[in-house]
Amino acid sequence: MSIEFGKHLSVTQTPIPGLIVIDLPVHGDERGWFKENWQREKMTGPGIELPDFGPVQNNISFNDAVGTTRGIHAEPWDKYVSVACGSIFGAWVDLREGPTFGAVYSARIDASRAVFVPRGVGNAYQTLEPDTAYTYLVNDHWSPDASYTFLNLADETAAIDWPIPLDQVTISEKDKGHPRLADVVPMAPKRILVTGANGQLGRALRAEFGDHEWIDYATRDDLDLTAPDLASTRRWRDYGTIINAAAYTKVDLAETPAGRAEAWAANVTAVSALARIATDNDITLVHVSSDYVFDGGSDTGYGEGDEVSPLGVYGQTKAAGDAVISVVPRHYILRTSWVIGDGKNFVRTMASLAERGVSPKVVDDQWGRLTFASEIARAIRHLLDSGSDYGIYNVSGGGATMSWYEIAREVFRMTGAPDGLVSGVSTEVYFADSTLPVAPRPTHSTLNLSKLEDTGFTPRDAAHSLAAYLDV
């Protein structure tokens, strides 16, 4: 079979999501031919846009005879397959969980064509010429602990139209014994790790993502992020996403010597370890940050590109963690403000005081918007599912900017407490009698949400979320 010379580098999408056929320019004359088999800059650039999948191993399969058939294996890594000499018939079946499970695609492949096979898509090859060799780049090393999925080459549902009938070719006994599609256990998605699973956000993430065998919800007792052997505690190549919901958030205690050390350990040292693991294993790292990275001097709302200028130790550690995360190739940093979730928080405290008829004094010179943990979890799910550009995103409740005093009054009103029980006080006066260190607070914490909205996410009005949270 002759090689087609003179093609332009181009791609063809297939009915199987992520399975891409690449036509390669091959330059030939009487001496032979030459091609760029994998050229990262061109192939991941505009117009082609193959995944930058980070291959770590190059394998070659040589086949003596026509009809050698290697049968449908779905592997837990991405694979770039091309022909060095000869030609093959390729067949691919989607064996991943999801709506395209069982979808089939086939094509003839010679030296002028390659195929990108995503994780979980079964691939099989039949040689059409003697002395055929094909190569494949993969982005993980073989491991005896890796999980594979298989399909029988003769499956009637897939109904692959093999050029050479299967009863006339060489097939291994193992490949002959693989299950039919109805008995195939689909390959699960790459694993997700959620840290800080017992916190307000961690519990909201469990409610958002659910309990699945491929999601790990880890507490500090399960996984010490500051442990020196963290990189060897798991097979990190099996993970596609880490959602870091763990943090030190005691802003006042962070101003003490012991608290300062704990804040830096949790918010910087642990984050640095996760960043290294994510970078080394092509993992998407989702990290939750804070309005405390700003000094609170802007009354127009902070955007993602505004300069950070933290006032206290907590804010300094969060800003440092952001800087570390920003160098991870696949990262989302979600900056939030005034987080409310399942646990002890300002809203629950105010509701309890209202129920008991207590008249609190509440700070009236700090401004921002509540961010419910469920809203952060929803935004994280949206960014991951939509494949939005990596980077920093602000996320909070929508609607009007309010002071803590105004929010407290709303809580009292919504719970049916008499009007006038809440009184406002300045931050300076509120903390005047404190015998413990007090962290400086940003005066203005309102976050501009337009970047997140541009991805198709609609923030819920904070006042409406407050009413739902109070169940009124």
Give residue limits of the domains in the chain. Answer: 10-183, 191-470
- The domain covering 10-183 belongs, at the CATH homologous superfamily level, to Jelly Rolls (2.60.120.10)
Does the pLDDT at position 145 exceed 80? no
Return the CATH superfamily for domain 191-470.
Answer: NAD(P)-binding Rossmann-like Domain (3.40.50.720)
| Residues 114-131: tens digit of each pLDDT | 999 999 999 999 999 999
3-class DSSP assignment, residue 154: coil
CA-to-CA distance for 249 and 199, rounded, in angstroms? 11
Same fold, 10-183 and 191-470: no
The pLDDT score that the predictor gives to residue 382 is 98
Q: List all residues 6 or more positions away from 349 whose beta carbon is below 8 Å from its beta carbon.
A: none
Distance separating alpha carbons of residues 408 and 363, to the nearest angstrom: 9
Sign of CA dihedral 467, 427, 341, 452: positive
Number of H helices, E strands in the chain: 12, 25
Residues annotated as catalytic are 73, 136
pLDDT at 1: 53
Half-sphere exposure of 293 (CA within 13 A, CB side): 26
pLDDT at residue 146 in the model: 81
Tell me whether strands 367-368 and 402-403 are parallel, antiparallel or unpaired.
antiparallel
pTM for the whole structure: 0.89
* Mean pLDDT value of segment 272-285: 96
Q: Does residue 277 have a pLDDT over 80?
A: yes
